[in-house]
Amino acid sequence: MEAVVVLLAIVPAKQLGHASGATAGAVCGAIAVVALLLCGVVGRGRAGLYAGSVFQALVIAAGVVLPAMYILGVIFAALWFTGIWLGRKWEHAAPAR
């Protein structure tokens, strides 16, 4: 989902004058590709969770080049860490059943 939303941010970023079309396309395209590649890694242990967490930090850092990424990065980082928290909560509750 993050990849789709980031790709949809290209046009508004260009129209609002945050960056040129080429810069917005390159930044958003790279973020989308990495997000899709990380989909295959996330379910394979702690390394995937760490990689996803670093990725979320890099998306926020991309706000230096494209200010819209600050907002999108914070939103998706909040979703990411909420998902990790809920997953751990669910895993700890499962043995009790």
As a whole-number percent, the residues of the chain with pLDDT over 90 amount to 56
| Band (44; pLDDT cuts 50, 70, 90) | confident
Rounded mean pLDDT, 8-12: 90
Domain that holds residue 32: 2-93
pTM of the model: 0.82
Q: Does residue 97 register a pLDDT over 80?
A: no
Residue showing tokens 């702690």: 46
- Residue 38 in this model has a pLDDT that exceeds 90: yes
How many domains would you assign to the chain?
1
Alpha helices in 9-67 (DSSP H): 10-15, 21-38, 46-61
Tokens representing 21 are: 């079309």
